[in-house]
């Protein structure tokens, strides 16, 4: 294993729901479901669920901090849970479903404490933060049927995440309350029309359809990184096209049935802005997808400007 890799351990209730937010993201090598914090060696799922082992369901993440900083993992963690719940998470009750951050070194401990204090001070929640910050203890892998559950049993996983109350809690707690009147002043008419009114700009008559410079594309509203020139290609459609986003966690898809078609819309997770659509006619050697985006929904930042504009941690894309 590379010396660059570190370990992070988070308990956020049911571990099925704590793998997907971290999995297949840049800088993350693997995410394992398991049990930690208790006093029983090699516990089974049934033993942990009995709340007699002291263990919590948790995920252990192997990551490269030069690509995915620990602080970014913490931000993702907080946005998956109800940190004020001291008795479990959502419909899952009991000790094994409590939340905790298990730190592996003093730097992680300090970062976790800082992030907890920042969340508390934000007044996002009216009740105090109940999530504990604890030293890491032995981590025991869960049974194979619990690994990557969101992939293996995707239909049941979606039903469970929705039915447990987690999905709606996340959506309602972390939705971006954007002042559209202020946004209208900040954006150009076409930028506002595309991002806030699900509009589409004209093909071949937009800013980035034939851009050939090195750099990244960020959300015009939030500044979140969306795409890289490394993954851009000429699809012949007249809009900037990409084979994949930089970080799949930063975008979300939605079924679009407008204009008498069934398409997959792509929206920014941070701002809920409309970005474009994804199609299955992209280069097969790169996965077969074509993310067809609107230039007006994005801002391009050239490689040599990234550090100056606060995106130095994405320079790894061009190394």
CATH number reported for the structural domain that contains residue 131 in this entry = 3.30.1060.10
Residue 14 among the catalytic residues: yes
pLDDT tens-digit readout, 66-79: 999 999 999 999 99
Among the candidates 112, 142, 174, a domain finishes at 174
- Kindly state whether residues 86 and 220 are assigned to the same domain: no
For residue 20, give the nearest of 112, 115, 150 by alpha carbon.
Answer: 150
- Kindly state whether residues 24 and 170 are assigned to the same domain: yes
pLDDT tens-digit readout, 131-156: 999 999 999 999 999 999 999 999 99
Question: Which position among 17, 49, 237, 292 bears the catalytic label?
Answer: 292
- Kindly state whether residues 219 and 153 are assigned to the same domain: no
Q: Residue 22: is its pLDDT beyond 50?
A: yes
- Kindly state whether residues 152 and 230 are assigned to the same domain: no
Residue 292 among the catalytic residues: yes
Among the candidates 174, 205, 239, a domain finishes at 174
Per-residue burial over 189-203, b if 16 or more Cβ lie within 10 Å, else e, is ebbbbbbbeebbbee
CATH number at residue 272: 2.170.150.20
pLDDT tens-digit readout, 23-79: 999 999 999 999 999 999 999 999 999 999 999 999 999 999 999 999 999 999 999
Output the pTM of the full model: 0.88
Q: Where on the phi/psi map is residue 245: left (φ > 0), alpha (ψ -120 to 50), or beta?
A: beta
Contact 99, 88 (CB under 8 A): no
Question: Which position among 14, 17, 49, 237 bears the catalytic label?
Answer: 14
- Kindly state whether residues 34 and 89 are assigned to the same domain: yes
Q: Which domain holds residue 287?
A: 180-318
pLDDT band at 3 (very low <50, low <70, confident <90, very high): low
- Kindly state whether residues 198 and 130 are assigned to the same domain: no
- Kindly state whether residues 240 and 132 are assigned to the same domain: no
Radius of gyration, CA atoms only, the chain = 21
* 1 found inside a domain: no
- Kindly state whether residues 237 and 107 are assigned to the same domain: no
Q: Residue 2: is its pLDDT beyond 80?
A: no
| Burial (Cβ within 10 Å: 0-12, 13-18, ≥19) of residue 222 | middle
Tally of structural domains, the chain: 2
Among the candidates 174, 204, 235, a domain finishes at 174
Q: What residues pair up with 103 in beta bridges, in sequence order?
A: 135
């Amino acid at each position: 294993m590379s010396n660059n890799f570190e370990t992070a351990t988070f308990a956020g209730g049911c571990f099925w729901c704590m793998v997907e937010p971290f999995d297949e993201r840049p800088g993350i090598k693997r995410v394992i479901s398991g049990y930690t914090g208790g006093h029983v060696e090699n516990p089974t799922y049934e033993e942990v669920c009995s709340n007699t082992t002291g263990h919590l369901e948790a995920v252990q993440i192997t990551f490269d901090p030069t690509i995915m900083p620990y602080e970014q993992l913490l931000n993702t963690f907080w946005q998956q849970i109800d940190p004020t719940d001291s008795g479990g998470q959502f419909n899952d009750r009991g000790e094994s479903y409590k939340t905790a951050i298990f730190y592996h070194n003093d730097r992680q401990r300090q970062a976790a404490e800082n992030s907890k204090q920042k969340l508390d001070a934000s007044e996002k929640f009216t009740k105090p933060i109940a999530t504990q910050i604890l030293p890491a203890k032995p981590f025991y892998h869960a049974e194979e049927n619990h690994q990557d559950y969101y992939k293996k049993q995707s239909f049941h996983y979606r039903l469970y995440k929705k039915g447990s109350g987690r999905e709606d809690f996340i959506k309602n707690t972390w939705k971006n309350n954007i002042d559209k009147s202020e946004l209208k002043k900040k954006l150009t008419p076409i930028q506002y029309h595309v991002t806030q009114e699900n509009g589409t700009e004209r093909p071949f008559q937009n800013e980035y359809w034939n851009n050939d410079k090195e750099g990244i594309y960020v959300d015009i509203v939030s500044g979140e990184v969306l795409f890289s020139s490394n993954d851009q290609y000429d699809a012949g459609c007249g809009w900037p096209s990409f084979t994949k986003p930089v970080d799949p966690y930063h975008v979300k898809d939605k079924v679009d049935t407008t204009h008498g078609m069934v398409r997959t819309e792509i929206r920014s997770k941070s701002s809920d802005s409309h970005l474009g659509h994804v199609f299955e006619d992209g280069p097969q050697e790169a996965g077969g997808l074509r993310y067809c985006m609107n230039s007006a929904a994005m801002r391009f930042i050239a490689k040599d400007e990234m550090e100056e504009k606060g995106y130095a941690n994405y320079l790894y894309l061009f190394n």
